[in-house]
Chain A
Amino acid sequence: GNSVTQMEGPVTLSEEAFLTINCTYTATGYPSLFWYVQYPGEGLQLLLKATKADDKGSNKGFEATYRKETTSFHLEKGSVQVSDSAVYFCALTTTGNQFYFGTGTSLTVIP
């Protein structure tokens, strides 16, 4: 079946620190992979995506590379800011219809 496993949080970092949030997946077929972000009191927002192996998605300084050999899609950012404090969800779809989400990783960035 299809599933996503994310590293458990919460994660607390100082401003300008390096961020990695691990995500691995299991899928039947060839999934597209996504990172969504949920800021406090807001809905899920698409952060970045990758639709095939070795693709790199990037947005707002965040990056993630679709690694088929390790079935991973880790989220990275070189220098986090306080405004990056949010919950991050890794997700996949194989059909473009039903999405499978991880449990989310809460990030808090302190000044």
Chain B
Amino acid sequence: DTGVSQNPRHKITKRGQNVTFRCDPISEHNRLYWYRQTLGQGPEFLTYFQNEAQLEKSRLLSDRFSAERPKGSFSTLEIQRTEQGDSAMYLCASSLGGGAPEQYFGPGTRLTVT
């Protein structure tokens, strides 16, 4: 078990471009979460999957954001028509769910929109 992994670790893009991030959760975890963290703030919840089903989405997740988890394993987060305000660290976490609520976080993808 190598923990939660995220790729890429850093992404610099120009405003208006599309970007996609990938998250590979801990293999036996059926729940996967995306958060956004800006400088000096704690992570803010974006969305959550149980297996392949997206069960919850935050108001922070605008129409330009879409997340998928097609086979209940890895997940992708796509941002279309990026804006400078999208610059942040995007964190992925996974958990077993049920009676074990603790989430395990990946190292994050730092997005810079120029």
Contacts and interface: CB of A to CB of B under 8 A. Distances in A.
B is a partner of A: yes
Contacts of B40: 103-104
A14 B108 CA distance: 31
A51 B35 CA distance: 22
Given A97-B33, A103-B42, A43 B97 contact: no
Given A97-B31, A97-B48, A103 B103 contact: no
Given A43-B4, A44-B93, A104-B40, 19 more contacts: A42-B107, A43-B108, A44-B105, A46-B104, A49-B102, A96-B97, A96-B98, A96-B101, A97-B31, A97-B33, A97-B48, A98-B33, A98-B48, A99-B33, A99-B35, A99-B45, A101-B44, A103-B41, A103-B42
Interface of B: 4, 31, 33, 35, 40-45, 48, 55-56, 58, 91, 93, 95, 97-98, 101-108
